[in-house]
Copies of this chain bind each other. A is one copy, B any other.
């Protein structure tokens, strides 16, 4: 019978990130992660499909949040309003109690080409979800495609700024500023 383990998921995530940083992602096993967290392998597998999911488990949730925010924005919302709503909705995933994990996660991904590919695919999926949601609101293909790339660029820029160790600004504010910067660049490109 499975025991209830307080904070098992977070303990596993912290143990995994610490080991990935110390020994490298490839060299770390699920058994070592479970051991460092003081839990069993079977507890690990109740929370994560594999060690890669420790790094990418937020992807499905964010995709859903982006998509829902765009689809449920008021009918009068402009494309940029929709992107702003999508970015705002992601703020729930970037709270202060997770801030110290971000530099570790980024370092682990930066050190491994397979994980970098996974990260690029994650970005492409976000763009695709945003473009689908914008098309569902009536945007044409070109406009939806461009707006989705702007949304994903705003998200990545905001995440990098939020995750910086010295940052104390909340994600939502940073994301709004990033979107605003991109809008200014879009104006310049449009000339």
List chain A positions with a Cβ less than 8 A from chain B: 79-80, 117, 120-121, 123-124, 141-143, 145-147, 149-150, 153, 157, 178, 181-191
Q: Is the interface of A mostly helix, strand, loop or mixed?
A: helix
B142 touches A157 (CB 8 A): yes
Least Cβ distance of A163 to chain B in Å? 16
Shortest Cβ distance from A128 into B: residue: B120
Task: Report which of B120, B157, B181, B183 forms a contact with A120, defined as CB distance below 8 A.
Answer: B120
> Is B181 touching A190 in the complex (CB atoms < 8 A)?
no
Bound-complex Cα distance A184 to B186 (A)? 10
Report copies per complex.
2
Residues of B with C-beta under 8 A to A149: 146, 149-150, 153
A188 contacts which chain B residues (CB < 8 A)?
79, 143, 190
Q: How far is the CA of A79 from the CA of B189 in the complex (A)?
A: 7
If A149-B153, A187-B187 touch, does A181 touch B121 (CB 8 Å cutoff)? no
Q: How far is the CA of A189 from the CA of B145 in the complex (A)?
A: 12
| A–B pairs, 11, beta carbons within 8 Å | A141-B157, A142-B157, A142-B181, A145-B153, A146-B153, A146-B189, A147-B189, A186-B186, A187-B187, A187-B190, A187-B191
Q: Report A82 CB to chain B, min CB distance, Å.
A: 11
With A and B bound together, what is the CA distance between A178 and B145 in angstroms? 12
Given contacts A117-B121, A121-B120, contact A189 B183 (CB under 8 A): yes
Lowest 4 A-B CB distances belong to which pairs? A187-B190, A149-B149, A186-B190, A186-B186
- A182 contacts across to B, CB distance below 8 A: 142, 146
Residue on B nearest A127 in the bound complex, by CB: B149
Expressed in whole angstroms, the Cα–Cα distance for A73 and B191 within the complex equals: 18
Nearest residue, chain B, Cβ from A157: B142
